[in-house]
Amino acid sequence: MTTLRLPVLSLLETRVLGVLCEKQHTVPDTYPLSLNALVAGCNQKTSRQPLIDASEAEVQAAIDSLKGPALVMESSGGRVTRYAHNMGKVLQLPTQSIALLTVLMLRGPQTAGELRINCERLHRFADISAVEGFLQELADRPDGTLVVELPRQPGARENRWAHLLSGAPLIEAPALASPSSEFAADVSVGELAALKANVARLEAEVEALKAVVGKLCAELGVSS
């Protein structure tokens, strides 16, 4: 059996592919997607990294390019042309691996923990070790590596992973750690939540005090 050699995809091509994979699960009633829906998904301001502003013509060109390796299929029938992805068949991947690639294409490099959370609507992984297992399979894939583990960033506790559908990812130069970034690395999610709650409580108390002062000033006939 001859293995299909995939071309190196552009950012917009991976965005189109990622949106199709995502919307298949999140809005199944409107999948396959129309061109308008696909453009909106590509330019979405949430759950996307980096943010882009692609035109309808640019998205259509990306779709046409992805038809070559059969990664995208066009649905016939109906007044509006619709598009669907074909990643599972072309790359011979299970739904778990497609979910991971989808989130990497849409949000950029992430840790295994972040991937588990961000894949929740596409596939629910039992634990981080399950995510790591499928990532390793994608990295060791005989027909071509699809993900790579990036060097750990200064102050980070986990390595991030990136997809290779657009070629080797750019490795960010390590930034000099500032005291604030070092502090943030040592603060847990629970501690951050507690700090935010304290700030909110203090802000509420300040507002209450302002109201009392304003009332007293009004009764005494002085300006606050």
Please measure the distance between the N-terminal and C-terminal CA atoms of the chain and give it in whole angstroms. Answer: 83
Low-confidence ranges of the chain (pLDDT < 70): 1-4, 77, 172-198, 200, 223-224
E strand or H helix that includes residue 209: helix 189-220
Per residue in 15-29, pLDDT (tens digit) is 999 999 999 999 999
pLDDT at residue 3, rounded to an integer:
47
Cβ–Cβ < 8 Å for 35, 60: yes
pLDDT score for 172: 64
For position 23, what pLDDT does the model report?
Answer: 98
Alpha carbons 193 and 215: distance in angstroms, whole number: 33
| Neighbouring C-alpha atoms within 13 Å toward the C-beta of 209 | 6
Output the pLDDT for position 191: 57
pLDDT tens sequence across 53-72: 999 999 999 999 999 999 99
Measure the CA–CA gap between 114 and 97, rounded to whole angstroms. 15
The percent of the chain in helix, strand and coil, each rounded to the nearest 5, is 50, 10, 40
Per-residue DSSP letter, 85: E
* Rounded distance between C-alpha atoms, residue 90 and residue 191, angstroms: 45
pLDDT score for 214: 76
**Residues 77, 81: Cα–Cα separation, whole Å:** 8
User: Quick check: helix, strand or coil at residue 149?
Assistant: strand
Return d(Cα 152, Cα 40) in angstroms, integer: 34
**Alpha carbon distance 182, 156 (integer Å):** 10
Residue 173 CA to residue 97 CA, distance in Å, equals 29
CA-to-CA distance for 45 and 61, rounded, in angstroms?
22
Q: What is the pLDDT of residue 212?
A: 77
Per-residue pLDDT at 46: 96
The predicted structure's pLDDT at residue 219: 78
